[in-house]
């Protein structure tokens, strides 16, 4: 089946603090520890040729070297670098100030770029894990969030902006109390916060806080991450694409429920970054972004199905015995004490 390219000009854009424009949908590239780098990279090439202009990468996904070949090819094939929005992320083992610039330089080399549009601190904790680990795995050197240490990392990201190696910097997996501190202490404030956002996990308070403070909410797991790693699955997790409201809207529009999730995200104002290596699916998601927005009645129905169901709970980043995953997320509005 030949897929018709989508004119990138039809995809809405989000204004970023400072005046740049971020395409309102990006292609995710985390293969959930099981999709080979080459398959993800092939999707990146094809998706850009179909009209995507935004790609969400990260060093820890282990595929930036392969994605770099695809980026080089699309540029050789005529896509201008300045039409693309490429994000990458600093992994947790590189928070030490001396490691930030080398980590970014490695991502740039792998991605075959001379600058990034956005560089995020992937998690607020300097705690790591190997690919494919199970839910009980812990870093024996795991640490709690320490604001002074986070800001020392952030200061290095600010230097990368000053050096022209990254255009914008942002946060990921943050909470309101942590963001409040970062916003008050940063010289260059974050322009975006990447956060889990799907119909069953709408995070209204954090979403509004992010927007009210001039940041773009970038929504990961927008389709409910049906292929996420085992460590991120618990029996209570709900399945967005099986929700009767979403299924009903999808039937009426003649689309897959995943497409409804994408349309909902875009109309709500976040930037979804659905992962897909299936051409018909990533094409459908792009068309969803470029086409008719979801109507008011559908948006109202979707607002009513939030289940506060976090899927990427982050157990592997806990720092001491006896903790619950909720301790990572500052649920009482204060940063969980060390
Ligand atoms: N900042 C962070 O800490 C963080 C955490 C998690 C994820 N992320 C980013 O967010 C991206 C997206 O999250 P995710 O990959 O966990 O989950 P997701 O995008 O919600 O779900 C991806 C899954 O949905 C399927 N899918 C996508 N579009 C579809 C469609 N139109 N119809 C049917 N199925 C569809 C894909 O299958 P096919 O491949 O077969 O289409 C894939 O299995 C990641 O790839 C990564 O870039 C960031």
Give the pLDDT confidence of 194-234 residue by residue, as tens digits.
999 999 999 999 999 999 999 999 999 999 999 998 888 99
Q: How do strand 21-23 and strand 13-15 relate by DSSP bridges?
A: antiparallel
Residue 18 confidence (pLDDT): 94
- Confidence at residue 144, expressed as pLDDT on a 0 to 100 scale: 94
Segments of the chain with pLDDT less than 50:
none
- In the three-class reduction of DSSP (H, G, I as helix; E, B as strand; rest coil), residue 302 is classed as helix
Torsion angle of C-alpha atoms 276, 61, 211, 150, degrees rounded to 10: 170
- In contact, 225 and 197? CB cutoff 8 Å: no
pLDDT of residue 132: 83
Q: Which atom of ligand 1 is nearest to the CA of 56?
A: 47
Let me know: does 56 contact 101? Beta carbons within 8 Å: no
Q: How far is the CA of 143 from the centre of ligand 1 (A)?
A: 28
Q: Is residue 115 flagged as an active site residue?
A: no
Please give the number of the atom of ligand 1 that sits closest to the Cα of 195: 1
Distance 15 CA to ligand 1 centre (A): 24
Query: Ligand 1 atom closest to Cα of 172?
Result: 1
Would you say the CB of residue 110 lies under 6 angstroms from ligand 1? no
What separation in Å is there between the alpha carbon of 137 and the centre of ligand 1?
23
Q: How far apart are CA 122 and CA 99, in angstroms?
A: 14
Spacing, Cα 275 to ligand 1 middle (Å): 3
pLDDT recorded at residue 57: 98
Q: What is the pLDDT of residue 311?
A: 97
* Cα–Cα distances in angstroms (integers) from residue 305 to residues 93, 140, 244, 310, in the given order: 37, 39, 10, 14
Please tell me the residue having the least CA distance from ligand 1 atom 36.
Answer: 276
Say what the pLDDT of residue 67 is.
Answer: 98
25: helix, strand or coil: coil
Please tell me the predicted confidence (pLDDT) of residue 123.
Answer: 98
What span, in angstroms and rounded, lies between the C-alpha atoms of 49 and 43? 10
Measured distance CA(67)–CA(24) in Å, rounded:
21
**Which pLDDT does position 140 carry in this prediction?**
85
pLDDT tens column, 17-67: 999 999 999 999 999 889 999 999 999 999 999 999 999 999 999 999 999
Instruction: For ligand 1, say whether the CB of 258 is within 6 Å of any of its atoms.
Output: yes
Using a 6 Å cutoff on CB, does residue 125 contact ligand 1? no
Q: Write out the E strands in 221-308.
A: 271-272
How high is the pLDDT of residue 257?
Answer: 98
Helix (H) or strand (E) holding 110, with range, is helix 97-111
pTM for the whole structure: 0.98
């Amino acid at each position: 089946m030949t897929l018709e390219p989508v004119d990138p000009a039809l995809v809405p854009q989000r204004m970023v603090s400072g005046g740049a424009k971020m395409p309102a949908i990006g292609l995710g590239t985390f293969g959930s520890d099981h999709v080979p780098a080459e398959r993800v990279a092939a999707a990146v090439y094809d998706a850009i040729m179909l009209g995507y202009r935004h790609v969400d990468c990260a060093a820890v996904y282990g595929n930036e070297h392969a994605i770099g070949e695809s980026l080089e090819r699309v540029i050789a094939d005529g896509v201008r670098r300045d039409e693309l929005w490429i994000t990458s992320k600093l992994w947790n083992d590189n928070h030490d100030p001396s490691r930030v610039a080398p980590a970014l330089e490695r991502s740039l080399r792998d991605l075959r770029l001379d600058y990034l549009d956005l560089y995020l601190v992937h998690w607020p904790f300097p705690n790591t894990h190997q690919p494919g680990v199970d839910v009980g795995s812990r870093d024996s050197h795991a640490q709690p969030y320490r604001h002074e240490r986070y800001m020392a990392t952030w200061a290095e990201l600010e230097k990368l902006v000053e050096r022209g190696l990254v255009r914008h910097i942002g946060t990921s997996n943050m909470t309101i109390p942590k963001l409040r501190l970062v916003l008050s202490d940063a010289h260059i404030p974050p322009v975006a916060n990447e956060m889990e956002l799907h119909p069953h996990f709408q995070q209204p308070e954090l979403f509004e806080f992010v927007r009210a403070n001039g940041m773009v909410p970038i929504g990961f797991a927008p389709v409910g991450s049906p292929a996420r790693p085992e460590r991120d699955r618990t029996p209570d997790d709900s399945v967005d694409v099986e929700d009767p409201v979403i299924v009903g809207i999808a039937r009426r529009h003649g689309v897959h429920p995943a497409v409804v999730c994408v349309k909902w995200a875009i109309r709500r104002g976040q930037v979804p970054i659905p992962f897909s290596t299936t051409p018909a699916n990533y094409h459908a998601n792009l068309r969803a972004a470029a086409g008719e927005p979801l109507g008011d009645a559908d948006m109202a129905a979707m607002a009513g199905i939030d289940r506060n169901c976090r899927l990427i709970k982050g157990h592997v980043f806990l720092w001491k015995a006896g903790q619950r995953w909720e301790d990572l997320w500052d649920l009482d509005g204060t940063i969980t004490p060390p």
